[in-house]
């Protein structure tokens, strides 16, 4: 049987990963797996042993150990029964990358990495706006956002660089309108 196909979607907080993944799902039939959403769902479960640990990382903008995140992703992939996945917001640091390489890399076909590139300022403003509109996310506040940006710059950018060296990264300017960004995304997904 063919291996499941994967596109990683990376970019800073508020770059539009979730928004654009929803658009891609509608047009191209991928399954959207947001690592952040999977972690928030796990945190909210009754009786999970990881709830507190996940919440602490989310508030501090630090990264949950890969064993937890990768297991959630793998489970969601197999439960879906589908074969084309957008993995949104993962891998975000060296620990994530190494865990993925060890457990998952050989089981999937990585098509490319979609990098939604966006200025720090725009990222912060979008998340603050979402928070003010009642997102309910415990990390949509200035203090958490400063930490999320720091983690993104220090830990996630080197992972994107690593994939760039393998010529796997497709970069788009995500500071534009949702429609403008999606119009370019469509060109990238045609024929996938
Ligand atoms: N918006 C979107 N696009 C817009 C546009 N072009 N113009 C104007 N507005 C736009 O969008 C954010 C907001 O901006 C929305 O209000 C949207 O309408 C608007 P969204 O599509 O949600 O952006 P996204 O990039 O998905 O932002 P998100 O906040 O989800 O990104 P993060 O990467 O910060 O959050 P995530 O959920 O991935 O992770 C949260 C935390 O979980 C991490 O900080 C970490 O602690 C933990 N985590 C891990 O530990 N490991 C993981 O593998 C993943 C997460
Ligand atoms: Mg998101």
Say whether 30 sits in a helix, a strand or coil: coil
Q: If you measure from the C-alpha of residue 34 to the centroid of ligand 2, how many angstroms do you get, rounded to a whole number?
A: 6
User: What residues flank ligand 1, with Cβ below 6 Å?
Assistant: 11, 13-19, 34-36, 39, 57-58, 61-64, 69, 89-90, 92, 96, 126-127, 130, 139, 148, 177-178, 181
Atom 14 of ligand 1, residue of closest alpha carbon: 126
pTM of the entire structure? 0.98
- Asked whether 28 and 82 are in contact (CB, 8 A), the reply is no
Question: Is residue 192 predicted with pLDDT exceeding 90?
Answer: no
How far away, in angstroms, is 176 Cα from ligand 2 center? 17
pLDDT category at 47 given cuts 50, 70, 90 is: confident
Place of tokens 């291996």: 3
Model confidence pLDDT, tens digit, residues 64-123: 999 999 999 999 999 999 999 999 999 999 999 999 999 999 999 999 999 999 999 999
Nearest residue to 174 (alpha-carbon basis) of 112, 126, 111 = 126
CA 32 to chain centre: 10
Residue 172 forms beta bridges with which residues?
116
Average pLDDT over residues 145-149: 98
Q: Which residues contact 118 (CB under 8 A, 6 or more apart)?
A: 11, 12, 14, 15, 16, 173, 174, 175
Give the residue, by CA position, lying nearest to ligand 1 atom 34. 13
46, pLDDT greater than 90: no
Contact by Cβ (8 Å): 111, 7: yes
Atom of ligand 1 nearest to the CA of 89: 38
The neighbourhood of ligand 2, an ion, using CB within 5 A, equals: 17-18
- Tell me whether 0.90 is exceeded by the ipTM: yes
């Amino acid at each position: 049987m063919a291996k499941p196909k994967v596109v990683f979607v990376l970019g800073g907080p508020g770059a539009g990963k979730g928004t654009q993944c929803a658009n891609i799902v509608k047009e191209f039939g991928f399954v959207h797996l947001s690592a952040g959403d999977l972690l928030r769902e796990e945190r909210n479960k009754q009786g999970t042993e990881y709830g507190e640990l996940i919440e602490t990382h989310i508030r501090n903008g630090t990264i949950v150990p890969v064993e937890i995140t990768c297991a959630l992703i793998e489970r969601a992939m197999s439960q879906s029964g589908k074969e084309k996945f957008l993995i949104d917001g993962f891998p975000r640091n060296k620990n994530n990358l190494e865990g993925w390489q060890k457990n998952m890399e050989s089981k999937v076909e990585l098509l490319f990495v979609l990098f939604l590139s966006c200025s720090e300022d725009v990222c912060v403003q979008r998340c603050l706006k979402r928070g003010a509109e009642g997102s309910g996310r415990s990390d949509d506040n200035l203090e958490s956002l400063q930490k999320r940006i720091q983690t993104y710059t220090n830990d996630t950018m080197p992972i994107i660089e690593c994939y760039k060296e393998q010529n796997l990264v497709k970069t788009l300017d995500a500071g534009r309108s949702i429609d403008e960004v999606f119009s370019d995304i469509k060109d990238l997904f045609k024929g996938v």
